[in-house]
Amino acid sequence: QLGHSGRKGSSKKPWEKEELPKSKQWNLFSASPISFHENGIIPTEMTISEMDSIVKDFEIATLNAEKAGFDMIELQAHHGFLLASFLSPLTNIRTDEFGGTIENRLKFPLRVFVAIRDNFPSQKPISVRISATDWAENGISPEEVLQITTAFKNAGADIINVSTGNTVAYQQPQMGRMWQTPFSDFVRNEVNIPTITAGSITDIDQINTIILNGKADLVALGKPLLFNPYFVRNAQAYENFEPTDVPNSYKMGIQPLFSEEKSRRKMTEEMKKALKPKSHK
C-alpha cells in the first residue's frame, strides 16, 4: 500500500495511552483545515506546490516498490487519509478547483493515481482502496462513490478495494458479519470493475458465498489471519483441495487435518439440515 496519512498523522500509536507531547508533534496538511479529533492538530489546507511535491513523493515510492519487487500496489484513498480527505465532503470544504463538486474533489487523488500508474510496469495491477460511505450525515453519497470508482477505473485502476468509514471520528458504523460486502457488491456490479471486500469475514463458507454470488472478486482477511495464520490450510482441507505447495517432509503432518475437516464438515452439514424446518428438508 502507498499512502499519505494527511490529517491523521502526528498521532500516538494506537496502543499508547498518552497523546504525543508537543515537542514530538509535526505539522499536518490535508484537503481542508479540519482536525481529526476535537482537540487534535489542525492541518493546513494543502497548497498547489505541496501537491506537486507529494505527487513526486508518490512517484519515488512507486519506483521503490517496483525495485523492491512488489507484484501490485494499492493506493490508499480510504479511511480518512490524505487522498480520502479530498474525496469526502465532510473533510473537503475547499473553494478552489479541488473542492466542491465530486469532479473537483477527485482531481488531486486522480493526479496521484496517474503518477503511480505511469511509473509502475503496465502489466502489474494497481488497486485503489476507498471508503464507500463515511457512516456520518452529509458524507459521501452512493452516486459519488460510483463517480469516484468509475474515474479510477477509467484512469487504469485494475481493482477497487471497497472499505468504509474512518473518515471522521464521530462515525456511526453498522458492523456485523460481512458488513462491508454490500458496498463491494454495489461498486462491482454498478461500475463493472473487479473488487476486494474485507470486514468480519471469518470462514470459508462465507468467502465462497461472496465469490459465487458475484459480490467481490477477492476476499481480504485481516484479524482472522492474525489469530489463525493457518486459516488457508484449514480452508483447503475443508474443501478437500490438494495443495501443491506443501513440502514433502510436511505432507504426512497435514494429512490428518484433511480427515478432521472432512468429518467436521459432515457434522456441520448434518446439523444444519437437522435444524431446518420440515418444509425445507
Ligand X SMILES: Cc1cc2nc3c(=O)[nH]c(=O)nc-3n(C[C@H](O)[C@H](O)[C@H](O)COP(=O)(O)O)c2cc1C
State whether residue 277 is helix, strand or coil: coil
CA distance 247 to 250: 6
Alpha-carbon distances, residue 52 vs 91, 108, 115, 151, 233 (angstroms): 20, 10, 11, 21, 46
Residue 87 is inside which H or E element, if any? helix 82-87
Nearest residue to 36 via CA among 83, 87, 90, 105: 90
Kindly state whether residue 264 participates in binding ligand X, applying the rule CB under 6 A: no
Map residues 217-236 to x or -, x wherever contact with ligand X holds by CB under 6 A.
Answer: ----xxxx------------
Shortest gap between Cβ of 39 and ligand X (angstroms)?
A: 25
- Range 157-196, binding ligand X (CB under 6 A): 163
Shortest gap between Cβ of 130 and ligand X (angstroms)?
A: 10
Among 200, 206, 208, 209, binds ligand X (CB under 6 A): 200
With CB atoms as reference, the residue minimizing the distance to ligand X is 222
Nearer to ligand X, 166 or 236 (CB): 166
Nearer to ligand X, 207 or 237 (CB): 207
CA terminus-to-terminus distance, the chain:
47
- Range 81-140, binding ligand X (CB under 6 A): 129
Shortest gap between Cβ of 222 and ligand X (angstroms)?
A: 3
Determine the interface stretch with ligand X among 61-69, 144-152, 167-175, 216-224 (rule: CB under 6 A).
216-224
CA distance 157 to 174: 28
- 30 and 46 in contact (C-beta within 8 Å)? yes
Kindly state whether residue 1 participates in binding ligand X, applying the rule CB under 6 A: yes
Among 98, 149, 199, 207, binds ligand X (CB under 6 A): 199
Q: What DSSP letter does each residue of 8-59 carry, written as one string?
A: G-S---TT--SPPPGGG----EESSS--SSTTSPPPEEPPHHHHHHHHHHHH
- The count of chain residues that interact with ligand X, using the rule CB under 6 A, is 11
CA distance 165 to 260: 39
CA distance 218 to 198: 9
Nearer to ligand X, 8 or 129 (CB): 129
Nearer to ligand X, 88 or 163 (CB): 163
Shortest gap between Cβ of 204 and ligand X (angstroms)?
A: 14
Shortest gap between Cβ of 281 and ligand X (angstroms)?
A: 33
Nearer to ligand X, 91 or 163 (CB): 163
Q: H helices within 120-240, ranges in order?
A: 142-154, 181-187, 204-212, 223-227, 231-238
Please report where in the chains the cell 454490500 appears, as a residue.
182
> What are the strands of the beta sheet with 159-163, ordered from one edge?
73-77, 126-131, 159-163, 195-197, 218-219
Shortest gap between Cβ of 145 and ligand X (angstroms)?
A: 17
Among 102, 112, 198, 207, binds ligand X (CB under 6 A): 198
Shortest gap between Cβ of 98 and ligand X (angstroms)?
A: 23
Shortest gap between Cβ of 110 and ligand X (angstroms)?
A: 19
Please report, as ranges, the residues that interact with ligand X according to CB under 6 A: 1, 129, 163, 198-201, 221-224
